[in-house]
A and B are shown apart, each in its own frame.
Chain A
Amino acid sequence: MALPQAIKAGLPCMNLLRMTAVPILKQLYLEERLLRSSAENWCIISHGTSLPTIVMGISGRPSELVELKPVLRDQIPVIRRFSGGGTVIIDNGTLFVSLICNKNAIPGLQPYPHPIMSWTGQLYGQVLCEFGDFHLRENDYAFNSHKFGGNAQSIIKDRWIHHTSFLWDYDAKNMEYLKLPSRAPKYRSARSHVEFLCRMKDYVPSRTSFIEGTIKSLGGHFSIRPFDLDELGSLSSSLSGSTKLLTRQELEEAYTSQCVAVYPMYKAFIEPDLQTAHIKFSNKFNPFTGFQNPTYILKSPRNVPVGQIKSVLSQEHKESTEETYDIYLLPPGEDLEAC
């Protein structure tokens, strides 16, 4: 089959699709479709989604990743995408570059997460090293130790997609919709969103110079063929339901599910207000950090006098007295008397 463009020196062909102002949901439907039903290599470069939208990875659970109360209040859309990885909030300032390749497209590159991640690190390093101290840190693109690009992949039998959301610019306020992730790279060192991230526009002169540089860098591995969005069919439906927009009902259910266990209830309903509380809570017992304190609490249904307990302890035992207060978390909507 003869291709319309001349093939550059035996390099495989890669279709280049540039889009602006396409909603992220449609873009994800398109990418999933191209990954699973096309046999060609693709590069999709896109920016200009206007509405802030939260995008979680395939196994993302909103109750763990998202601040549901403000999200429900401000009606921020929440999408679960078909690839792995973490949660991002994207807006007008986000730039997307997605690479969909056949497993043999790049000689010597094995279709596994780490080799693909490394290869893209080299690709973008070529483009960005002149603008800043570029690094592939664990699975992120960073200048020094400030992240500006987050990655996700989906690997199927003979093809893979590696897509990146680049923070050309971002609204720091939007980060408040995201919880601090429980799984974070070591180099994050517990920094807040604002201390951890940086904006590409503070390092790179223009979006165009980054985009053109990326296309040029890809040209070293592929014969790039510009493709028009109109040449593809309708983008409205999703294949096999992997990418989906969560319904309001699902988000509300996730919000109320936070009311079933003490620690999530505390995190959801008490901790946010502690900033302005007049009472300071000091809790030495945190079951989630550090080595377990080998303290045993003995409880008995019988009324055992103190003397009887002491008589069975060894002579060397030490005594101390502590005052404790039991705090009861009342689920929202529950009546104190009824509990």
Chain B
Amino acid sequence: MALKLWASSAANALKLSSRASAPFPASSISRCFSSVIDGFRYSDSHEWVKHQGDVATIGITDHAQGHLGEVVFVELPESGTSVTKGSGFGAVESVKATSDVNSPISGEVIEVNSKLTGAPGLINTSTYEDGWMIKVKPSDPSELQSLMDSKEYSKFCEEEDAH
């Protein structure tokens, strides 16, 4: 069990997709080129959620930012807006395209990452940390269970890219 935990944190540090099934952590390198964070939950439209107590932090995944390219502008809602699972709350603009970002859960926006106004590229460079988009007070924490965990999401990305 301890070995598995070590594997996860080593994988996180090395920005590798972690596979809980591998008994030899040092050699488990995922075929999926995008990174994931264990403990986060993921939607099938490529957003991540980090749930800590009463607050859920949301952003787009490494897979998404890699496919979108350099982010030049981020459109975010205002604090106090409500979001619904599966519906758009903002958009991310890359060179020629604007792409909707959908909320993986329902709730009320309590904080918005204002750093993204001046530095939209944080989504590319610090996808799971400084590139967070909104913080939400979940209205229904059970929605998190229907989202994918890091293992399921990695597999989902692999299957998408295999086309």
Contacts and interface: CB of A to CB of B under 8 A. Distances in A.
Interface residues of B, number: 22
Contacts of B94: 84, 113
A151 B96 contact: yes
B98 A155 contact: yes
B73 interface: yes
Contacts of B163: 108, 110
A284 interface: no
Contacts of A86: 96
Contacts of A110: 67, 160-161, 163
Contacts of A114: 67, 69
Interface string A136-153: 000100000000000111
Nearest to A109: B163
A85 interface: yes
B97 A152 contact: yes
Interface residues of A, number: 24
A85 B95 contact: yes
Contacts of B20: none
Contacts of A187: none
Nearest to A116: B97
A85 B97 contact: yes
Interface in B127-163: 160-161, 163
A192 interface: no
B72 interface: yes
Contact of A113 (B86, B91, B97): B97
B68 interface: yes
B100 A155 contact: yes
B93 A59 contact: yes
A155 B97 contact: yes
Interface string B14-26: 0000000000000
B88 interface: yes
A183 B72 contact: yes
B67 A84 contact: no
Interface string B119-130: 000000000000
A110 B163 CA distance: 8
Given A84-B94, A110-B163, A155 B69 contact: no
Nearest to A159: B100
Given A85-B95, A139-B96, 11 more contacts: A58-B73, A58-B75, A58-B91, A58-B98, A59-B75, A84-B94, A110-B67, A113-B95, A113-B99, A153-B97, A155-B98
Interface of A: 57-59, 82-86, 108, 110, 112-114, 116-117, 139, 151-157, 183
Interface of B: 45, 67-69, 72-73, 75, 86, 88, 91, 93-100, 102, 160-161, 163
21 contacts: A58-B91, A58-B93, A58-B98, A59-B93, A59-B98, A84-B97, A85-B96, A110-B163, A113-B68, A113-B99, A114-B67, A152-B97, A154-B98, A155-B97, A155-B99, A155-B100, A156-B99, A156-B100, A157-B88, A157-B102, A183-B72
